[in-house]
Every structure is written in C-alpha cells, then in structure tokens.
Amino acid sequence: MAQEKCVRTNCRFCGYQCGLKATVAGGRLVKVEPDPSQYPGDPSIQRGCRRWRVAEEFIDHPQRVNFPLKRKGERGSGQWQRLSWDEALDEIAAKLAQLKERYGPEMLATCIGGPHAVFWPLHRFLNLFGSPNNVGIGQICWNPATLVNSLTYGWTIESELDPEITGAALFWGTNPAESDNSLLWRQLLNFSRTGKPLIVVDPRRTRTAELATLWLPVRPGTDAVLAMGLLGVIVAEKLYDEVFVTRWCNGFERLAELTARFSPPYVAGVTGVPAEKVVEAARLFARNSPATLFSGRGIDQIGPNSFPTQRALAAIRAITGNLDAPGASHITEMPDFIPELDLELSDRLPAETRSKQLGKLRLQSYAGYDRVREDTLRHGKRLPMRYLTSAQPNLVWRAMLTGEPYPVRSLIVMATNPLLTQADSRLVYEALKSLDLLVVLELFPTPTAMLADYVLPSAGALERPLLETKAGTSNLAYGGEKAVEPYYERRPDFDFWRGLGMRLGQEEFWPWESFQAALADSLAPTGWTWEDFCRTGLYTLPPEYRKYERVDERTGLPEGFATASGKVELYSGVLAELGGEPLPVPKTPAARQPDFPLSLITGARVQPYFASSFRQFDMLRAVHPEPQAEVSAATADRLGLADGSAVWVETERGRARFTLKVATMCDDTVSVEYGWWYPETAPSEPGLGGMWVANANVLTNADYETADPLVGTATYNGLPCRLTAAE
C-alpha cells in the first residue's frame, strides 16, 4: 500500500481559493478537508460551502477532458480523435501562422472568464503575437469599479467589514450569501448580530437582504438615481465630513449642485424606494462612521448606468470620510512582487496594433488607459493593461461574421464558456461556427468546447500551483502548491501558451521550464521562495490608513491622492477630457414596452454553482436541480402563474424556460438564474448539452450601439421582458 502524505493546497472552485489539506497516496488524491492554517482561517466557514466537498469526484470525474482532442466530423458533431500534445501544438501553431500571414495578427482573439485561473501567460502570448483582441468579462465585472476608483481616488480600494469597528454597512447589488459564501459572508453574519445599521440595496429580498436593518428594493437599472438621492440627502443635511471635503475633495460644489435635482420624492418616483427610506439610508450611513460600502455585479451589469452608479458610490464613500479609514476601506498598494503589467508584456504591443482594438471606447481603450495611468504614476502605481483595454465583445463576434472592420478568424478560449457567459448566445454561436480555428482549453466538454476544432485538457483544482494577485492592483498574493501531478495528460494552461509561443518565434520570452518556476520568479522581489509562500499560502502586509496624509520627503507636503488635483476627484476632469460626464449623471434606463411589460434581471447567482460550472455533479444538482425564475406574489397572481410551474421568459432576443419561484422582491420584475445547461444531455448539435433550454444569455445582448460608451458595459439587468406559462 502506498504511503499517505498530507499536502497543503487550495480549493480553486471559485475566486476565493480557500485552503485545504489534501491526503495523497501513490500520486492519487485520497481525501480533502479544510486547512485552518490558511485562508479563511476558520473551518466552520467552509462547512457552509459544498463545492470543495466534490474535489475527489472532480479530479477523476468521468466527464473530465483527459487528452488532447481534435475535431473529426462536422463542427459540433461530437466526433473526436485523440492526438498528442506536441501534435496538437504543432497543428495549432501552423494554422495560426497561416491565418496571420493571410489576415494579420489581429485575426486572433482570445476569450477569458473568472478569477480561478492565471491569465498573464495568455496576455503575454497575445501581446507578442500582435493582437489587441481579448474578450473578457471585465465590462460587467471588476473594470467599472477599478476604473472609477482609479479616476476618483488615484487607485483601487478594498472595502472592510469589521464587526467590532465598523459602524454601518451598505451592501449594494451584491449578495455574499450566494456569490461569496466565504469570509465576507461570515463577517456579514457577525455584523448583523451587532444590531448596527445594515443597509442592503437589491430588487430581491436575498439572504443578504434578510439580515438588513433597512432593505431598499430598487427597481432594476435605477441604481444611479438612488445613489444620487443618498448623496442629495447627505449634502442637503450637511451630513458630510466637512474637514475632509474641504481639504481633500475637488469639485464638491459642482457635485452638490447636481444632487439638488435628486430630491427624495423624485428618487422615490423613479426607483420605487419610498422617500423616507432614502432619507433614512443616507442618515444611517453618514452618521455611523466608520461606514463601509460593498458593491457587486448587480450594478456592474446595468449598462450605461453602471459607471454613474459607481461614481456616485465613490462620492458617498469619500464625502462621508470613509475612505482609507479603518473599518471602512483602504486604498491598496502596488505589489512587492512582479506586477501583472510586467508579466503580460503589454509594452511589446505596437501602437499601430493598439489602434486596431475593437471598440473605440472612451475609457476602456489604450488611449483611455494611458490617460488614467498618467495620474496614477504620480504615486508610482501602474494598472494592468490587458484587462482594462479588452475588446468590446459584441464587435468581436460581428468581426467574425462580417469581416468588419477586419476579419477575426480564430479564437482561443480559456477558463470560460462564452456560449453561456457572454451576452447574446445566438450571435456568439453563429460567430463561433464561422471560424477557421477554434481552440478551447477546458476541464469538461462544455457547450463551447463542443464546437471547437481542438480541445486541450487543462489541469484543474489540486493539479496546478497557484499565485493569485488581484491582477497586480494590491500587495496581496494567495494560493499555494498543487496536491498531485495532473492526472492523465492534463497540463496547466501555462504549458499551452508557452508551447505555442515557442513554436511561433517567442522563445526568448518564455525562459521558464514550468509554471511553478514562473510563479517563483514573480515572487522573487519579495525575498520569498516558492516554498516560503506555500507554508502559509499568503503574502501580504497590514494595510496603512490615511496614506494621503503621509509627508513626501522630497516636498515636505502630504502625498495626497494620485489624481490630477492631488485630491478626490468628485468632478473628473479626465472624464471631461475623454468626452464623458465629469459628474455622476444617471442615464434613462430602458423603458418597458407593451409586448414586454416586465423588467428582467439575468445575473442571479445561486449556491452551489459558480457561473456555468458544477452542473455535472449529482450531489450539487440534488441541492438545486433546476433553474428558477423569481417573481413577487403580486406579479405571479396578476399573470395567473403558480409557484413551481414551468414558464417562458422572453425578450426581443429570445426565450428560455425556467421553474417559477414566488419570492419577496420588486413587483413587475423577473430574476432568472445564470449559467444553466444540462451536461447529462448529448454533447453535440443540435442541443449542445442543453444550452438553449434555460440559458439566461439567450435573453441578453451586448450591442455596441447601446452599451456604455466609456467602458462598453452592456445591459443585463433592467431588460424589458414578458413571462408566460410553458407547456
């Protein structure tokens, strides 16, 4: 019998990568359990999560992709032939070289997803290959807040929630009970027991909202008006921190003039939140410092109103003095380790190539990036480039189909499933079907992989080392060692990008023999070895606060903020330069239509799933077997629909089938779950694993013309829809 050993590793089934202890014998995983010596430092927190419990099944699941595969029949036929890694890489490299010769390097696009993978090797390859066209999910996750906070404060921030210190908490468009279920959720539960003000803004009475002392059920898409209403009360009643505003805020008078338009009665009429609750929320937040504010994808997905909402929330945090203060938030620091910007080699992408980025967005573009960086460099801070300059997805799919403004003929997909996770699934499907080359790096045969020319087996959780760094925007790294060598012929995605680069003239830029060696090198400036890091799985330093007051030894003056004025930019001159609104002016949301009289939310997350993952596991499906569409009791009664019945949700783009759930939420609103498909069905055309049945993105679009002109954010929440009984 092989001797057992214990390996400290990480879960990696979501972005939190909680610590695990893996028991290994003979190179095979025997069992896993929470490791209290690693994040989140309390096994009781992980007891509330089911995902890590499937680790043993996950690593040798019968549906896992184990060998390189090449399409044998028609695209989507489900016919494959096995080949070696070298054969696959040789053929893919040769095809890319041919397409590059014919169309230019911009004919290649890539598509990435959530934070459970390391993306700089992909970015490095793409920059060296010479294409600006990466498709991500940044426009609806992370980018809006990152850009807003960098414009407003000079850098990104981390919100804090300490039940002992924090005086009030505001959770806006986020539901940690389902989307987090980690340390933050436990902190929130503990905070709710203190009786301190907990304000939750959400159209649905989620498990997070159930804890609230004040729930604000905002109509989908009207968040910017509500945020301006809170600002209006804070300004009119002089609840702001006058000392901080006078010394450290630029443009307060202009902001105050704008907020006067948003009286509580007006806000109530637009948002559906009673005027007295608007006033109460503003007072609770402003009078109970330190107050913290968390926001999530609920406001990252409201199209042109995402950016003004984020700007208004940034102003609320600042004028109440809850910026870079213990128990409220802290401005993060550049990392001691090599930042993602340097690892991705974005300086290697020529200016001529940058000009070919699909989407002439005012802010999420190379010109916009350069303008923001101009100010952040005042404090030596440098944002990652590829995330914040990614292409507008809708234009990439169009270029595949039309060749305008130039042909995009190949796509490499990594750590995502765009047929489920990108808007307008029908358009994405048609675009993928039209390609000369589609390569997918995957764990399972997803609907996207079913259409591929090549599928490469990715090493997944417990099979690869990890160094997660928040894209280099914080002096924080977490992760650790793999538990076992990859099973079968799976490999870390790094091996694919390095192997492809070595075949396409990039040899000098891939000096590492392994992924772990690359990670160890990136840690080297800290003085830590890879072994040092793996002992705790964490590199960080305690946050400093009120850094803007630190005296610069060269000038003898306070450092201030890394902005043009050295202050918090309530009025953004940079946005004015770029053709945007310098103040947070709400946009008019999409109006309901006679044929589509309801308002749709498409981004609801639900445990135990993560995006489109984990529907293959019987234990998890037993917990939540079918996708649901939630409506209020009044809406269900008016439509003559019963709880538990099958319903069609329809928009102008398509329809999807869900099981109705009557819930406490805004009337005339429908909320559908995201990421649903049926891996138990045939992995081929026409069904493609049941992706057309209950796919929320059949209902959405990311049309460039109606997206936010600054970042390219499409509207996923607040869409006109209708609800009818299904047979």
- For residue 82, what pLDDT band results from cuts at 50, 70 and 90? very high
- Flag whether pLDDT at 591 surpasses 80: no
**In this predicted model, what pLDDT tens digit does every residue of 592-643 receive, in sequence order?**
789 999 999 998 888 899 889 999 999 999 999 999 999 999 999 999 999 9
| DSSP-derived 3-state class of residue 585 | coil
- Flag whether pLDDT at 159 surpasses 90: yes
| pLDDT, mean over the chain | 95
- Looking at residue 366, its pLDDT comes to 95
- Looking at residue 181, its pLDDT comes to 66
What pTM does this model have? 0.96
Cis amide prior to 34 (ω within 30 degrees): no
- Looking at residue 2, its pLDDT comes to 79
Cis amide prior to 465 (ω within 30 degrees): no
Mean pLDDT of 107-125: 90
**In the chain, what are the domains?**
4-59 (2.20.25), 69-142+341-540 (3.40.50.740), 157-331 (3.40.228.10), 598-725 (2.40.40.20)
- Flag whether pLDDT at 1 surpasses 70: no
**In this predicted model, what pLDDT tens digit does every residue of 234-270 receive, in sequence order?**
999 999 999 999 999 999 999 999 999 999 999 999 9
CA distance 12 to 20: 10
- For residue 183, what pLDDT band results from cuts at 50, 70 and 90? confident
Percent of the residues in the chain that have a pLDDT greater than 70, as a whole number:
99
Residues 6+ apart with CB under 8 A from 721: 596, 598, 599, 600, 649, 650, 651, 670, 699
- Flag whether pLDDT at 588 surpasses 90: no
Mean pLDDT of 21-31: 94
Query: Residue 651 is which amino acid?
Result: T
- Flag whether pLDDT at 189 surpasses 90: yes
- Looking at residue 213, its pLDDT comes to 98
Report which of residues 354 and 605 the model is more confident about: 354
Q: Quick one: 5 exposed, middle or buried, by C-beta within 10 A (0-12, 13-18, 19+)?
A: exposed
Alpha-carbon separation of residue 554 from 64, 346, 374, 557, 599 (angstroms): 58, 31, 20, 8, 56
